[in-house]
Amino acid sequence: MSVKVNETIALLSDAVVAFSKINPYNFLGAGCLANSLFFYKASKHFNDEHYLELSWQEFEKVYNEVEHADLQENLSLIGGFAGVGWVYQYLVNQEEVEYDADFFSFFDKIIIDYCANEQKINNYDLFYGILGYGSYFLQRSKYDKVAADPYLNKLVAIFETMSINQQSGTVWFCDMFSDVKGKINLGMAHGLPSIISFLAKVYDINKNADAKSMAENCVNWLLTFKNPDPEAITLFPYFGNFNEKHSEIYPIEDENSETTRLAWCYGDLGIGYSIFLCGIKTDNERFIAEGIQILKKCAERKIE
């Protein structure tokens, strides 16, 4: 790895160390859990036990709150206690901490039971809803597939119940964001690509046929939005309305915008990755080719 990359990681590490001393937040989005993951990666990159100790210290700050917290008041992956379970299982999977069967048995039940509440309000969101809990169970499956499989299958069944099937494919609404209610989110952070990725990963783990079918049908629907113009800067909008002709498109900020951001959370990069991933996990050569074409276009795009 280049000297410049090492210098950059070292600079970031110093910044995170300084920030961790004043950071008032706990969770995975921008708090102690995020610091813990970063320090763990830094410890492996630099082969430095000091960073590993910092990683554990940051994790313990939040872990020690679990026993006394009302988990259901703040259970999301990115800003709540599901993130604690995810990071704990991740560290177990890396053989850095010991596995606590009682902890995970308790967490599994809390999380799967809470999914019913999210289903009622149509909240599939990756950061703050059902997909976040799905990410937790995906992480669990790497250590204990037998325990995780029933929960993953339960989530697939929930997505099947929430799905809307059209001739052109399968879609989902997420009612969490009132400003875009009635529109279909095409971003990785809060939209269809995150569903595609989750379902494809579940199929890869346990060959759930419904997961495969829904993932492929959603990709087919998503591809109907692809801009056929080879000169277009970007290929997909931020949002699409729900009708069979797909005649209206709603970018996130400006309805007359011609381009979307080059970012993981919205735009072509996350869409291309999800389609490519689905192709890999389901052995679909067409999706693999589509994903590669989209990602190559992203790589050629100039950053202004």
DSSP characters over 127-173 = TTSHHHHHHHHHHHHTT-HHHHHHHHHHHHHHHHHH-EEETTEEE--
**What SS3 state is found at 112?**
helix
Phi and psi angles of residue 283, each rounded to the nearest 5 degrees, phi first: 60, 50
Candidates 235, 216, 228, 214; CA nearest to 285 is 216
pTM above 0.85, yes or no: yes
Candidates 90, 93, 58, 65; CA nearest to 80 is 65
Output DSSP code: residue 241: E
What is the predicted pLDDT for the residue at 179? 53
Q: What would the pLDDT profile of 228-243 be if each residue is shown by its tens digit?
A: 888 888 899 888 765 5
Q: In one letter, which amino acid is 34?
A: A
Output DSSP code: residue 186: -
Which of 1-5, 9-13, 22-26 is predicted most confidently? 9-13
From residue 249, alpha-carbon distances to 143, 195, 228, 263 in Å are 42, 20, 15, 19
Cα–Cα distance for residue pair 123/117, rounded to 1 Å: 9
Structure tokens at 303: 């950053």
What is the predicted pLDDT for the residue at 138? 98
Q: What would the pLDDT profile of 27-47 be if each residue is shown by its tens digit?
A: 998 899 999 999 999 999 999
Q: What would the pLDDT profile of 146-205 be if each residue is shown by its tens digit?
A: 999 999 999 999 999 999 887 788 888 876 654 555 678 899 999 999 999 999 999 999
Candidates 273, 142, 160; CA nearest to 208 is 160
Candidates 258, 296, 257; CA nearest to 275 is 296
Q: What would the pLDDT profile of 42-84 be if each residue is shown by its tens digit?
A: 999 999 999 999 999 999 999 988 888 888 788 999 999 999 9
**Orientation angle between helical segments 192-206 and 145-162, nearest 10 degrees:** 140
Residue 303 has pLDDT above 90, yes or no: no
Cα–Cα distance for residue pair 118/167, rounded to 1 Å: 27
DSSP assignments along 206-249, one per residue: H--HHHHHHHHHHHHHHHTT----TT-S-S--SEEESSTT---B
What is the predicted pLDDT for the residue at 168? 81
Residues 6+ apart with CB under 8 A from 289: 279
Cα–Cα distance for residue pair 17/13, rounded to 1 Å: 6
Candidates 284, 159, 149; CA nearest to 205 is 149
Note whether 257 and 276 are within 8 A (CB): no
DSSP assignments along 57-71, one per residue: HHHHHHHTTGGGS-G
What is the predicted pLDDT for the residue at 249? 34
Bridge pairing between strands 164-166 and 169-171: antiparallel
